Every structure is written in structure tokens, then in C-alpha cells.
Amino acid sequence: MRVGILGGGQLGRMIALAGYPLGIRCTVLDPTAESSAAQVCDHIRGEFDDFQALYQLAQKSDVVTYEFENVPVESARWLAERVPIFPPPRALEVSQDRLVEKTFFQTLGIPTPPFAAVTERHEFDNALAEIGLPAVLKTRRFGYDGKGQVVIRTRAAAERAWEKLGGRPLILEGFVPFDRELSVLAVRGRDGEIATYPLVENEHRDGILHRSLAPAGDTAEELTERAAEYASRILTELDYVGVLAVEWFQDGPRLLANEMAPRVHNSGHWTIEGAHTSQFENHLRAVCGLPLGRCDPVGWSAMFNFIGNVSPAADVLKFTEAHLHTYGKSPRPARKVGHVTLRAETAEELRDKLPEWSRVFDRPDQGPG
């Protein structure tokens, strides 16, 4: 089986690596000369709207997928006329616009923070009056890892936010005083079978994921079941195939949908060592029409991202529980260059070891710079 991947970052790299044991060979399309994924699989260099490059990818692929959600929808639709492409282009369309995404959630009965569309200044003022402060002003498109958004707590901050982001399609969202940030990953096969990983607790720094704990501790079974049910509604409505991530704010007993990612996800990296089947293998199983693997965890896991630079291997691997992944990227501020997953057999062991792990991996130079 040959799988084409739109995007050649670390997610594409890990998808390709997961394919080798299954006899699946991947080819990535990416505009950069030395992408992370190109180090481990075939690489077509080209832009995502370059139809000659897209044609080459189609010719080398039995099925096409993508590793990031900002692939042009037109390119995905063009490919879909020539080769199966999963997840479907509609999933891209929904996830690329925050207003469309939030409206989509609400049509499925999935709770969200309050929100309002903003384009003109008077709409911004009206939205502030309706939603109140604090709030978050975001661009509707192309925001990730904290980019394209400003938290507003005062009227003076509102003026600065408008000066920074005004003049393009925006969305104003109510700020949620959440207890914690959670995510759920679910996978749907071509036959409609759905499997769900456990809820994960995430900690972000400056908008970039720093640490994930899986399964999320002290999580009521009812909350886990609700997250799985909401994810199932999305997967079914979109006739989705592949792995989907949904990020949540937990506000007491409530789950409020923040955003979805129609792809494998950073908060699922722990699944490589911490679940019976990794998110990357299950994504390939789904898009290739193979039976899905089990999603239940193997013990308890903590995943730390390396931002900017990777800790020396000797410092990481001195922990016998550690599994190090580097992405073949040059160091750069705010760049995800690797991660480490540490496994524990029980929740108690994870709780006892987490402070020591955090002292090593909560490094001051791990911020965005």
C-alpha cells in the first residue's frame, strides 16, 4: 500500500515510520528542501497548490492523507477526483475557519464558549458588549500554537488587540476560566468503526503544548464518555476517516469545545509507547481500510515537548522509563524539535515520579524564545 501525505513535518515523519512495519510506504509533498518527514520517506518538493506536484503525488499513492489542516481545500478536492483522500475535504473546510468550526460544533449539540463574528470595528464593539470581558480575539484562519490571538482583559487591551488584528475576518470568544485543558483523539475506519483514546490533560506555555498526561488524572468516567460521544458525532457527520483530535476546556462538570484538528495530533504522541496502537498506526489503518487497533492505554504516560532545542540524549535516557523522539530539525526558538514520553505502570507511580521528570524537562530554555 502506498500513502501520500500532504505536509512533511514531524507528524508526517511519524506517520511514515508507523507505516514500515505494516508494509506501507509513504511519500510526502512539502515545499521545503529538507523537511522532517523527507529524512525517512520519499519526498516530492512542491507547493500545496502546485497541480503538477499534486499529480505526481497522486501517481505515487493508493490513498492520500495530510498532516496539517491548512492544506488548500481546492487541492484536496482536486486530488479526491483522482485518488481516495482521507479525512474528507469537508473536514479541512470546517477546521480551517474558527467561526465555521464553532458553528459546526453547535449544530451537533456540542457546547462551546460564547462567540461572535467580527469584521468591522462596530461589530467588535457590539461583540465586546454582548460577550463581556475577559475575552479572546482570534483570526478566523491560519492560527496555531497560540498565533493569531490576543487575550483581552481591559478596554485598553481591547484597543491594542484591534490595532494588532483588526482589518481581517476575526472571531471574539468568551474567555473560559477553565479548570484544565483536555483533548480526546478518536479514529474512524472506512467501514464506520470508531475507536477512542482516553482523555488527555494538556499544559500549554505561550500557546504551545508543553506537556500531556495520559490518561488525564481524576477524570470522571461520565466526562470521558461524553468526550467520546461528542467526537463520535463529529466523525459521523463528516463521514470522517482517520484520526481526529478535539481540544476541550473543562469547566467543572462541563466540556466546552475549543477546536478540532483533522489529523494526528501533538497531544497523542504518548500513544507510540503508551497505547496498544499508536495514533499514527491507527491513522494509517483507517485510511488504508485496515481493521483498527486497540486504543486503550498501556500504563500511564507523561509526554514533554522539546521546544527550541532537544535535551542531550544522555540526560533524557538516564530515566529508564524514557522514550526519546527527535525530529531531525535544526534548533530554533518556538520550534517543536522533539519529545520524550515517560511511562509508569500505575497512576501512583506517575504521580510520584512526575516531580523529578518535570525538574529535568521543565527547562527555562524550553519557552518560545
Q: How confident is the model at residue 364 (pLDDT cuts 50, 70, 90)?
A: low
Looking at the predicted structure, is the pLDDT value of residue 211 above 90? yes
Looking at the predicted structure, is the pLDDT value of residue 166 above 50? yes
* pLDDT per residue as tens digits for the range 56-75: 999 999 999 999 999 999 99
Looking at the predicted structure, is the pLDDT value of residue 368 above 70? no
User: What is the pLDDT, as a whole number, of residue 146?
Assistant: 57
Looking at the predicted structure, is the pLDDT value of residue 258 above 70? yes
Distance CA 186, CA 247 (A): 12
CATH number of 180-364: 3.30.470.20
* pLDDT per residue as tens digits for the range 230-246: 999 999 999 999 999 99
The correct answer on CATH 3.20.20.210 for the domain covering 2-85 is no
Distance CA 258, CA 185 (A): 14
Going by the DSSP 8-state scheme, the letter that residue 257 receives in this structure is E
* pLDDT per residue as tens digits for the range 264-299: 999 999 999 999 999 999 999 999 999 999 999 999
Domain spanning 114-174: which superfamily? ATP-grasp fold, A domain (3.30.1490.20)
Q: How confident is the model at residue 207 (pLDDT cuts 50, 70, 90)?
A: confident
Report cis status (omega within 30 of 0) of the bond before 215: yes
C-beta neighbour count of 322 within 10 angstroms: 20
pLDDT averaged over every residue in the chain:
95
Residue 344 grid coordinates: 509508569
What does each C-alpha distance from 321 to 302, 324, 340, 363 come to in angstroms? 10, 10, 10, 19
User: What is the pLDDT, as a whole number, of residue 144?
Assistant: 59
Looking at 88-92, 142-146, 272-276, which range is the least confident one? Answer: 142-146
Place of cell 486503550: 296
Looking at the predicted structure, is the pLDDT value of residue 365 above 60? no
Looking at the predicted structure, is the pLDDT value of residue 369 above 60? no
Looking at the predicted structure, is the pLDDT value of residue 103 above 60? yes
Looking at the predicted structure, is the pLDDT value of residue 3 above 90? yes
What residue spans define the domains of the chain? Answer: 2-85, 114-174, 180-364
User: What is the pLDDT, as a whole number, of residue 367?
Assistant: 40
Mean per-residue pLDDT, 173-192: 96
Mean per-residue pLDDT, 16-39: 97
**Do the first three CATH levels of 2-85 and 180-364 match, i.e. the same topology?**
no
| Residue of 279, 209, 275, 217 whose CA lies nearest to 250 | 217
Amino acid at 146: G
| Residue of 112, 165, 159, 158 whose CA lies nearest to 135 | 158
Three-class SS state of 20: helix
User: What is the pLDDT, as a whole number, of residue 52?
Assistant: 98
